[in-house]
Structure 1
Amino acid sequence: MIKEWATVVSWQNGEAILRCDVKASCSSCASRAGCGTRLLNKLGPQNHHMLSVAIEQPLVAGQKVELGIAEGSLIGSALLVYISPLVGLFIVAALFQALFGSDLAAFCGAVLGGVGGFLVARGFSAKLSHRADWQPVILSVALPPDALRVETITSADGR
C-alpha cells in the first residue's frame, strides 16, 4: 500500500474533496541538471492535486487524512499510460515501414501509433477507474484543526 497525507477541502453527503500537495525533491538530487522529471515539474505550475474520495465519517475543512492506494493498481495504471503509446508507436511504425518502405512513412506511422496508443490507454483508464481496487482509500483521519488547543502559561513575575 502506497500512503500519502492529504488535506480536506470539503465534505458533503459522504464524499470528501481532498488536496494532495506535490512533493518534488528535485532541488536536492545530485543529477538535477539532466533530470527529465525536474524539467516536467518546471513546465506546469500545478503544486497540488484535487481528488474525491467516498467516506461516511464527517470531516471538516483543513483536517488531514492518510490516503492509501494498492501498489498493483498504481503499477498497472503506470504500465497502461506508458506502455500502450510506446507499443502503438513501434507496431504502427513497423507496419508503415513494411507497407510503404520509406522513413517518412515510418515516422507518420510512429506518430499515428503513439496517438492511437494514448487513446487506447485513455479509453481503458476510464473503464478501470470505476474498479474499487483502483480507488484511493482513507486509511486514517487526524484530529480536526480546532480540536487541539495550545495554551502558554506565564508566571506572575513575567518570566
Structure 2
Amino acid sequence: MIIETGRIVSVEADGVWVETIQKAACGSCKAEKGCGQRLLNKWDGHTSYIWVLLEGRNPANYQQGDEIEIGVPEEVIARGALLVYMAPITMLVVATAIAHVQFASEGITTLSGLAGLLIGALLVRWHSWRNRYNPDLQPVLIDDRKPLHFYRPAEQH
C-alpha cells in the first residue's frame, strides 16, 4: 500500500476531498534528473485532488485543513497504469494494421492509427467514469479508528 499525506480541502457527507502533493514517487528513484513527473511538478506546482470515501465514519470528525493519511493499494496503481498505457497503444496498433491490410495507403493508415489511439484513450476515459464509485479502486483513509485490513486468502484445511 502506498501511503500519502494530504490536506482536507472539502468535507462532504460520504467522503472528503484531499489535496496531495505527489512526493512518494519523487526522490525515491534513481532517475531524479530525467523524470518527467518531477519536471512537471516543479514547473506548474500542480497538486492532486483525490476523493476519499469515509466508509461510515462521521464527517463531523474531519475539518477543512486537517492533515490525514490515505493509502492506495499497489494493485490498483499497477492495473491502472497497465490500462492507461496499453489500451491506447493496442488500439493504435490494431487500427493501423487493419487499415494497412484493407487500404494499403499511407495517409489512411496514419489517420486510422491516430483514430485508434483516440478510441483507446476514450475507452480509458469510459472505464474511469464507469468505475469512479467502485470502492475497490478508491483510496482508503488510514486512521486509528479503523485500522487497515490487508487481504489474506482463506487457509484451506
Contact 2:26–2:32 (Cα < 8 Å) also in 1:
no
Distance in 1 (CA, whole Å) between partners of 2:91 and 2:97 is: 10
Superposed CA offset, 1:8-62 (max 9, x none): 1232434222111133747x96662x5444554466x252111222222411222
Any conservation in 1 of the 2:72–2:139 contact (CA below 8 Å)?
A: yes
Identify which range, 45-54 or 114-123, moves more after superposition: 45-54
CA drift at 1:64: 1.3
Identity %: 29
Return the letter of the residue paired with 1:17. Answer: W
SS in structure 1 at match of 2:65: coil
Amino acid at match of 1:114: L
CA contact (8 A) 1:6 1:19 kept: yes
Matches within 5 A, 1:94-109: 94-109=97-112
Match of 1:79 among 75, 78, 82: 82
Deviation of 1:134 after TM superposition, in Å, equals 0.1
**Residue 2 of structure 1 aligns to which amino acid in structure 2?**
I
What residue in structure 2 maps to residue 146 of structure 1? none
The alpha-carbon distance between structure 1 residues 41 and 89, as it changes in their structure 2 partners (threshold 3 A), is farther
Tell me how far apart the structure 1 counterparts of residues 115 and 42 of structure 2 sit (CA, whole Å).
28
Q: Which amino acid aligns with 1:90?
A: V
Contact 1:77 1:125 in 2 (8 A): no
> 1:102: Cα distance to partner?
2.2
Query: 4-13 vs 108-117, which deviates more?
Result: 4-13
* Equivalent residue, structure 1, for 2:15: 15
CA distance in 1, matches of 2:128, 2:15: 22
For 1:50, the equivalent position in structure 2 comes to: 49
Secondary structure in 2 aligned to 1:125? helix
Write the letter of the residue equivalent to 1:3. I
Q: Bigger CA drift: 117-126 or 85-94? A: 117-126
- Counterpart in 2 of 1:4? 4
Shift of 1:77: 1.3
Structure 1: which amino acid aligns with 2:11?
W
Amino acid across the alignment from 2:68:
V
Residue aligned with 1:118, SS: helix
Relative distance call for 1:125 and 1:104 in structure 2 (3 A) is: same
TM-score (norm 1): 0.74
CA distance in 2, matches of 1:89, 1:115: 8
Letter of the structure 2 residue corresponding to residue 49 of structure 1? S
Superposition TM-score, scaled by structure 2 size = 0.75
